[in-house]
Structure 1
Amino acid sequence: MKGIVDRFEDAFVVIEVEGKTQDIEKHKVAEDVMVGDVVKLEDGIWVKDVSETSSRQKEIKKLMDSVWDDEVQ
């Protein structure tokens, strides 16, 4: 199971999984996870998927660059 970290709220991490958000207790999420990271559930703990997070960040940057390029023209 994979998801994207939406935000941190008090004792919970809000993770979007299959288009729906879930409130996950912080102790069930690895400490290095940040907002926007792609995470996967491994042995009951949500851990960062480094490869997918990197791909997602590159895709977002590409989209943002294209928006700025369109505005300049």
Structure 2
Amino acid sequence: MRKGIIDRFEGDFAVVEFNGETEDILRSELPAEAKIGDTLIFEEDSVTIDKADTTKRKNEIQNLMDEVFEE
């Protein structure tokens, strides 16, 4: 098993970051609802969205943004 984060989409490919390095993966190999910022779990025959990790990371980013842009 390995985990990656969708950085962006380029045509038919998703650019997925694995430990600081990116890899192009066909969008057709990902869950249809996958979007930028989602954490993906790659196992032998499947790819799933790690919703808990995705939510945790988004909350952490939002908290950092709130701190930076405090009035």
| Fold equivalence (TM over 0.5) | yes
Secondary structure in 1 aligned to 2:69?
Answer: helix
Q: CA deviation at 1:18?
A: 1.1
Amino-acid identity (%):
37
Equivalent position of 1:28 in the other structure:
29
Return the index of the structure with the highest Cα Rg: 1
Give, as a single letter, the amino acid of the residue that structure 2 aligns with 1:22.
E
Kindly indicate whether the alpha-carbon contact (under 8 Å) linking 1:6 and 1:36 is maintained by their aligned counterparts in 2: yes
Query: Using CA pairs below 8 Å that are at least 6 residues apart, which structure has the higher relative contact order?
Result: 2
The two structures have a TM-score, normalised by structure 1, of 0.88
Aligned length: 70
RMSD: 1.1
- Structure 1 spans left out of the alignment, 5+ residues: none
Q: Hey, what does 2:56 align to over in structure 1? A: 55
